[in-house]
């Protein structure tokens, strides 16, 4: 389920990025192939292909984002965190990177860092119900049941 959430968060907002990139056609072609490999769960191939994108253009934020997803799926959590950090270095308002990095932090048992990333994402876009759920789960796993309940209980939507 977490796997689907990570991919869902990434692709849900793929058109919402504020990052304007001037990429070469070759980098774009590799990016498209790497994204297809990621969608086909060919994570090792996706990493290699996205590496080629980044060799061509080291500022291709979407390639870092997708490579982070592939790394996470392979269990390479530190590399995924690093890639999401690179995205945030280029665009500190990229909600997807905060959400995905938060999911990786949960996998590593780093609940405070996950909660921090989810909170940053929600500050930028408070309508992301899945992120309330994810943050609620991080609170729950941390043993903060009241805060968990506050995130998953829909009363906040009535105000």
Residue 55 falls within a domain, yes or no?
A: yes
Domain count, the chain: 1
CATH number at residue 116: 1.25.40.10
Domain containing residue 146: 2-11+25-158
Q: Measured between alpha carbons, how far is 71 from 68 in angstroms, rounded to an integer?
A: 5
Nearest CA among 145, 119, 106 for reference residue 1: 106
Supply 6's token pair. 């990570």
Residue found by looking up tokens 């504020």 in the block: 18
Residue found by looking up tokens 């105000």 in the block: 159
Q: Measured between alpha carbons, how far is 140 from 125 in angstroms, rounded to an integer?
A: 22
Residue 19 falls within a domain, yes or no?
A: no
Residue 17 falls within a domain, yes or no?
A: no
Residue 109 falls within a domain, yes or no?
A: yes
Q: Which helix (H) or strand (E) holds 136?
A: helix 129-142
Residue 18 falls within a domain, yes or no?
A: no
Residue 20 falls within a domain, yes or no?
A: no
Residue 41 falls within a domain, yes or no?
A: yes
Q: What is the largest CA-CA distance in the chain?
A: 51
Burial tier of 116 (Cβ tally within 10 Å: 0-12, 13-18, 19+): middle
Residue 44 falls within a domain, yes or no?
A: yes
Mean pLDDT by 10 residues, the chain (159 residues): 46 39 86 98 98 97 98 98 98 98 98 98 95 96 95 64
Per-residue pLDDT, 53: 98
> What are the two backbone dihedrals, phi and then psi, of residue 154, each rounded to the nearest 5 degrees?
-80, 10
């Amino acid at each position: 389920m977490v796997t689907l959430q990570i991919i869902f968060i990434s692709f849900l907002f793929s058109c919402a990025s504020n990052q304007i990139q001037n990429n070469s056609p070759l980098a774009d072609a590799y990016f498209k192939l790497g994204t297809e490999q990621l969608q086909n769960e060919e994570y090792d191939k996706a990493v290699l292909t996205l590496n080629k994108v980044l060799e061509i253009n080291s500022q291709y934020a979407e390639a870092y984002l997708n490579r982070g997803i592939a790394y996470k799926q392979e269990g390479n959590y530190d590399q995924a965190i690093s890639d999401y950090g690179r995205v945030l270095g280029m665009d500190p308002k990229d909600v997807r990177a905060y959400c995905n990095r938060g999911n990786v932090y949960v996998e590593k048992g780093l609940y405070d860092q996950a909660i921090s990333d989810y909170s940053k994402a929600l500050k930028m876009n408070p309508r992301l119900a899945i992120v309330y759920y994810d943050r609620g789960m991080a609170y729950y796993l941390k043993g903060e049941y009241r805060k968990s309940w506050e995130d998953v209980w829909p009363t906040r939507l009535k105000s």
